[in-house]
């Protein structure tokens, strides 16, 4: 397997392709279940690499989003992968608690089956319990 230098273009995501943000897929490192999709900026990518904890960019808040900063449902990074075009990031994680803000292990808990939407996994916690308003 050929290695690239850390600062070479082949080693890093190309954030210019996405206008500064790239999709980041969080996947359970143990089961390969896709947990969620979020956005990463160069800053959130750098923080994720430096700290070993998943950090994304919240488009609605316009700032870095440290996964679990409110809920405690953090993502410890096991490995980071960049696709062949350099415009999508895969983060393999060890998830603590629910990945989904609705309290499910995965954000992909709804399955479309012949026009019917089925819930495919149990809710781990209700959002009111996760995000206590002060």
Cα 122 to Cα 134: distance, rounded to the nearest angstrom: 27
As a whole number, mean pLDDT of residues 29-44 equals: 98
Q: What's the pTM value of the predicted model, to 2 decimals?
A: 0.87
Cα 106 to Cα 70: distance, rounded to the nearest angstrom: 17
Instruction: Look at residue 104 in the predicted model and tell me its pLDDT.
Output: 96
pLDDT tens digits, 92-121:
999 999 999 999 999 999 999 999 999 999
3-class DSSP assignment, residue 9: helix
Instruction: Pull the structure tokens for residue 24.
Output: 């980041």
Instruction: Look at residue 1 in the predicted model and tell me its pLDDT.
Output: 57
Give residue 6's pLDDT band: very low, low, confident or very high (50, 70, 90): low
């Amino acid at each position: 397997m050929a290695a690239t230098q850390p600062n070479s273009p082949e080693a890093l995501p190309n954030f210019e392709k996405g206008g500064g943000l790239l999709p980041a897929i969080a996947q359970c490192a143990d089961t390969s279940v896709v947990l969620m999709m979020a956005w990463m900026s160069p800053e959130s990518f750098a923080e994720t690499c430096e700290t070993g904890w998943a950090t994304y960019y919240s488009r609605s808040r316009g700032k870095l989003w440290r996964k679990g900063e409110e809920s405690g449902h953090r993502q410890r990074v096991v490995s980071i992968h960049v696709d062949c075009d350099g415009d999508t990031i895969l983060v393999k994680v060890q998830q603590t608690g629910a990945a989904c803000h609705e309290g499910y292990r995965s954000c992909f808990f709804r399955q479309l089956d012949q026009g019917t939407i089925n819930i495919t996994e149990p809710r781990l916690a209700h959002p009111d319990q996760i995000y206590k308003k002060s």
